[in-house]
Structure 1
Amino acid sequence: MLDDVRILAWGERSAVKLCATLLERAGAQICFADAGPVAGIAHDVVIVSSDMSSTKEKSVIAELKAAGNTIVCDITATGPQGSRAGGSWSDAQVQAISGLMDTTGFAHGEPVRIGVPFTDISAALYASAAIAAAIRVRRMRGIVQTIDVTLFGCAASALTTFLPAAFVRDTVGRVGNRHPACAPWNAYRTSDGWILICTSTEEQWRRIRSVARVPQLDDPRFATLRERVRHVDVLDPLIETWTTTLTTAECTRLCETIGVAAGPIVSVAGLSGEPNFRLRHGEAAERIDARGIDGDTYRQVSVFRTSRLTDRAVHAPLTANAERVFPTDAGPLAGVKVIEIGQYTTAPLVGKHLAALGARVIKIEPPDGEVARSWAPGRDGTSYFFALNNTDKETIALDLKQDRDREYLRRLLADADVLVENLRPGALAKLGFGRQSLGEINPRLIYCSISGFGIESAYPTRPAFDTVIQAMGGLMDLTRSHGMPVKLGASGADILGGQAALLAILAILAEPSRQAGNFVEISMQDVAAWGALYSSGHPEPQGLAVPCADGHIWIESDGLRDAASLAAHAKQLRCGSLTRACAIAALAEAGIRAVPVVRVPELMEDGDFLADVLSVARDASGAFWPVLKMPYRLSRTPARIRAVPGMPEVRHAIDDEGEERSGRGAIRLSGLAKLDL
Structure 2
Amino acid sequence: MLDGVRILAWGTRHAVRLGATLLERAGAQVTFGGAQAAQGYDVIVVSSDVSSADERSVIAELKASATHIVCDITATGPQNARVGMRGSDAQIQAISGLMDTTGFAHGEPVHIGVPFTEISAALYACAAIAAAVRVKRLRGIVQNIDVTLFGCAASALTTFLPTAFAQGTVGRVGNRHPACAPWNAYATRDGWILICTSTEEQWRKIKDVASAPQLDDPRFASLRERVAHVDELDALIETWTSTLTTSECSQVCEQIGVAAGPIVSVEELSKEPNFRMRHADAAMQIDTQGIDGDTYKRVSIFNTARLTDDACAAPCTDREAAPHAGPLAGIKVVEIGQYTTAPLVGKHLAALGAEVVKIEPPDGEVARSWTPGQAGTSYFFALNNTDKQTIALDLKQQADRAYLSTLLADADVLVENLRPGALAKLGFDRDALGKINPRLIYCSISGFGIASAYPARPAFDTVIQAMGGLMDLTRSAGEPVKLGASGADILGGQAALLAIVACLAGPARQDGTFVEISMQDVAAWCALFASGNPERQGIAVACIDGHVWLESDEHADAAALAAHAKQARCSVLTRASAVAALAKAGVSAVPVARVHELIEDGDFLADVLSVARDANGAFWPVLKVPYRLSRTPARVRAVPGAPTRTASPLFATLAV
1:366 lines up with 2:366 in the alignment: no
1:486-516 per-position Cα deviation (integer Å, ceiling 9, x unaligned): 0000000000000000000000000231111
Residue number in structure 2 paired with 1:493? 488
Secondary structure of 1:61's partner? helix
Tell whether the 8 Å contact from 1:316 to 1:444 is kept in structure 2 after alignment: no
Deviation at 1:95, TM superposition (A): 0.1
Aligned counterparts of 2:183 and 2:625: Cα–Cα separation in 1 = 30
Which residue of 2 is the match for residue 481 of structure 1? 476
**Paired position in structure 1 for 2:419:** 424
| Structure 1 counterpart of 2:32 | 32
**Deviation of 1:276 (Å):** 0.1
SS at match of 1:134: helix
Correspondent of 1:605 among 593, 600, 604: 600
Q: Where in structure 2 are the equivalents of 1:84-483 lying within 5 Å?
A: 84-319=82-317, 322-324=318-320, 326-483=321-478
Counterparts of 1:596-675 in structure 2, within 5 Å, are 596-653=591-648
Output the amino acid matched with 1:442: N
Secondary structure of 1:37's counterpart equals helix
Contact 2:194–2:260 (CA<8 Å) still a contact in 1? yes
Distance in 1, Cα, partners of 2:494 & 2:235: 36
Measured against aligned partners, the alpha-carbon deviations of 1:498-557 in whole angstroms (never above 9, x if no partner) come to: 000000000000023111100000000000000000000000000000000110000113
What is the alpha-carbon distance in structure 1 between the residues aligned to residue 652 and residue 387 of structure 2? 22
Q: Which moved more, 1:152-161 or 1:565-574?
A: 565-574
Q: Answer yes or no: is the 8 Å Cα contact 2:316–2:510 preserved in 1.
A: yes
Shift of 1:660: 11
Would you say the 8 A contact 2:319–2:331 is kept in 1?
no
Task: Tell me the SS of whatever aligns to 1:46.
Answer: strand
Offset, 1:315: 3.1
Identify the residue that residue 3 of structure 1 maps to in structure 2: 3
Q: Distance in 1 between matches of 2:467 and 2:37?
A: 44
Query: Corresponding residue for 1:669?
Result: none
Match of residue 48, structure 2, among 47, 50, 62: 50
The match for 2:497 is: 502
What whole-Å deviation, never above 9, does each CA across 1:94-149 have from its counterpart, x for those lacking one? Answer: 00000000100001110000000000000000000000000000011110000000
CA distance in 2, matches of 1:660, 1:465: 32
* % identity of equivalent residues: 76
Preserved contact between residue 389 and residue 654 of structure 2 (Cα < 8 Å): no
Q: Distance in 2 between matches of 1:37 and 1:218?
A: 71
Equivalent pair of 2:319/2:330 in contact (CA under 8 Å): no
Report SS of the residue matched to 1:363: strand
Flag structure 1 segments of 5+ consecutive residues without an equivalent: 665-677
Matching residue's letter, 1:63: E
Q: Point out the more displaced range, 568-577 or 545-554.
A: 568-577
Give distance in 2, aligned partners of 1:24 and 1:100. 30
1:663 shift after superposition? 10
Which SS does the other structure have where 1:530 is aligned?
helix
Per the alignment, do residues 55 and 461 of structure 1 end up closer, same or farther by CA in structure 2, a change over 3 Å counting? same
User: Residue 565 of structure 1: CA displacement?
Assistant: 1.1
State the SS of the aligned residue for 1:156.
Answer: helix
> Counterpart of 1:455 in structure 2: which amino acid?
I
> Alpha carbons of 1:387 and 1:661: their partners in 2 closer, same or farther (altered >3 Å)?
closer
1:20-41 deviations in Å (ceiling 9; x for gaps) = 11000000001012x33326x4
1:527 to 519, 522, 529: 522
- Runs of 4 or more, structure 1, over 4 Å off, are 659-664
User: What do residues 396-444 of structure 1 show as CA deviations (whole Å, max 9, x unaligned)?
Assistant: 0000000000000000000100000000000000000000000000000
Question: Is contact 1:339–1:413 with CA below 8 Å preserved after alignment?
Answer: yes
Q: Deviations over 1:253-299 (max 9, x none)?
A: 00000000000000000000000000000000001001000000000
Post-superposition offset of 1:42: 1.0
Assess if the C-alpha contact under 8 Å between 1:222 and 1:228 holds in 2: yes
Give 1:562 deviation, angstroms.
1.5
Q: Displacement, 1:569?
A: 1.2
- C-alpha separation in 1, matches of 2:15 and 2:514: 27
Letter in 2 for 1:578: L
Q: 1:663 to 1:516 in 2, by over 3 A?
A: closer
Structure 1 residue 514 and structure 2 residue 513: aligned?
no
Normalization by structure 1: what TM-score? Answer: 0.96
Q: 1:567-612 CA distances to partner (integer Å, 9 max, x unpaired)?
A: 1110121100001111111100110000000000000010000000
Opposite residue 521 of structure 1, the aligned amino acid is E
Q: CA deviation at 1:559?
A: 5.0
- 1:611-632 CA deviation, whole Å, 9 max, x = no partner? 0000000000111100000000
Question: Which stretch shifts more, 305-314 or 461-470?
Answer: 305-314
User: Which of 576, 585, 590 is the equivalent residue of 1:581?
Assistant: 576
On the 8 A contact 1:119/1:151 being kept in 2, the answer is: yes
Give the distance between the partners of 2:103 and 2:96, measured in 1 at CA. Answer: 15
Q: CA RMSD in A?
A: 1.3
Cα distance in 1, alignment partners of residues 249 and 330 from structure 2: 48
Residue identity in the other structure for 1:13: R
**CA, structure 1 residues 323+343, in 2 after alignment: closer, same or farther (shift >3 Å)?**
closer
Cα deviations across residues 45-89 of structure 1 (Å, max 9, x unaligned)? Answer: 000000001110001101111110100000000000122011100
Alignment gaps of 5+ in structure 2:
none
How many residue pairs are counted as aligned between the two chains?
A: 655
For 2:314 and 2:176, how far apart are their aligned partners in 1?
48
Mapped to 2, the partners of 1:117 and 1:70 lie a distance apart of 28
Please tell me whether the aligned partners of residues 75 and 123 of structure 1 are also in contact (alpha carbons under 8 angstroms).
yes
Q: Give the aligned partner of residue 672 of structure 1.
A: none
Which amino acid letter does the alignment assign opposite residue 155 of structure 2? S
Decide whether the 8 Å contact of 1:8 with 1:37 is kept in 2.
Answer: no
Q: Show the counterpart of 1:569.
A: 564
CA–CA distance in 1 between the matches of 2:21 and 2:211?
50
* Contact in 2 for aligned 1:316/1:443 (Cα 8 Å): no
Distance in 2, Cα, partners of 1:287 & 1:484: 28
| Equivalent residue number for residue 675 of structure 1 | none
Matched position secondary structure for 2:268? helix
Distance in 1 of aligned mates of 2:579 and 2:563: 15
The amino acid of 1:196's aligned partner reads L
